[in-house]
Amino acid sequence: MSENELLNQVAEAVLSFDENKVIEAVRIALKNGVSPIDIIEKGLTKGLRTVGDKFETGEFFLMHMVAAAEITKKAIDKILQPELSKSKTQRKALGKVVIGTVAGDIHDIGKNIVAAMLLSAGFEVYDLGKDVPAGEFVKKVREVDADVVALSALLSTTLPMQRVVIEALESSGLREKVKVIVGGAPVTKEWAEEIGADGYAENAIEAVNVLKRLLNLT
């Protein structure tokens, strides 16, 4: 099988939404000498892009987007990232995003959808989960040298924690290095401006556009 065919197999496996099939296709490609970078960029990402296109046309649903993104992330984390680390090569993702739901808030469906969309768009996503203390965001930003921090909050009572994270980034001297975007039902453009966030998105698709704009990718 040619390299192209192997990569196509990976892309097609993504469209099956079957984790085992994706992992299998990735393993076969690796075994046949395709580079991990190519598998990510020309295989998995291509599959994700097709899922995204089909979502736009209404053929696939949000659930497909999340499923494809989660499977892809697993394949990268489990198999491809270790390979990359071994060979000390770096991925050329659009950017590194640290994302999480702020402390005190355990609502994370919206955040999961945004994380999936960002991954599908080609960002490297570090999802810290929910109820994440400000210090955890800071730690991760430093550890992975992130470009963006994305903060989610659903409750009006936990909304203030978005400000707390921004302040923690400031006092750690990291604020200038990262863009901060905020989201969640009670979040508005005005709130984002008030707390000194760099961007705000009304929904997951918008979040991708906002990030691309902030990082001058468009």
Partner 1 sequence: MNGVLRGQKLRFLTKREIETIHSATLEILRTVGIKVFSDKILKIFTEAGAETNSESKIVKIPEYLIKEALKKAPKKFILYGRNPKYNIIVDNKRIYFGLGGTPTPYFLDLESGEFRRPTKKDVAEVTRLGDALENISFIMTIAGAYDVPYEVQYLHEYEAIFNNTEKPIVYPAPGAEIAQYALSMASAVAGGEDELREKPFICLYSEPPPPLMMAETDENLIEYANHGVPIALGPTSMAGSTGPVTLAGAAVVSNAQSLAALTLIQTVNPSNPVFYACWVAATDPRTGRHAYGSPEFAFSTSVINSQMARYYELPCFGFAGCPDSNFPDAQAGAEAMMMTLMNTLSGVNLMHDCGYIAGGDAGSMEMAVICNEICGIALKIAKGIEVNDKTLALDVIREVGPGGHFLSHKHTLKFLESGEIYIPKLFNRISKEAWIKAGKKQIYEVARDVVRKILKEHSPKPLSPDVQQKLREIIKNAERKKITR
Q: Give residues in contact with partner 1 (CB under 8 A).
A: 58, 61-63, 104-107, 109-110, 113, 131, 155-157, 159-160, 185-186, 188, 190, 203-204
CA distance 211 to 120: 13
Provide the minimum distance between the beta carbon of 148 and partner 1 in the complex, in angstroms, as a whole number: 21
Residue 183 near residue 151, CB atoms below 8 Å: yes
Provide the minimum distance between the beta carbon of 23 and partner 1 in the complex, in angstroms, as a whole number: 25
Question: Which C-beta is closer to partner 1: that of 1 or that of 109?
Answer: 109
Provide the minimum distance between the beta carbon of 67 and partner 1 in the complex, in angstroms, as a whole number: 11
Question: Which C-beta is closer to partner 1: that of 48 or that of 76?
Answer: 48
CA distance 11 to 49: 9
Provide the minimum distance between the beta carbon of 166 and partner 1 in the complex, in angstroms, as a whole number: 13
Listed in sequence order, the DSSP H helices in 145-195 are 160-171, 189-194
Listed in sequence order, the DSSP H helices in the chain are 3-14, 19-31, 36-38, 45-56, 62-75, 81-87, 109-120, 134-144, 160-171, 189-194, 204-214
Question: Which C-beta is closer to partner 1: that of 20 or that of 188?
Answer: 188
CA distance 194 to 122: 30
Question: Which C-beta is closer to partner 1: that of 21 or that of 107?
Answer: 107
Question: Which C-beta is closer to partner 1: that of 82 or that of 160?
Answer: 160
Provide the minimum distance between the beta carbon of 185 and partner 1 in the complex, in angstroms, as a whole number: 7
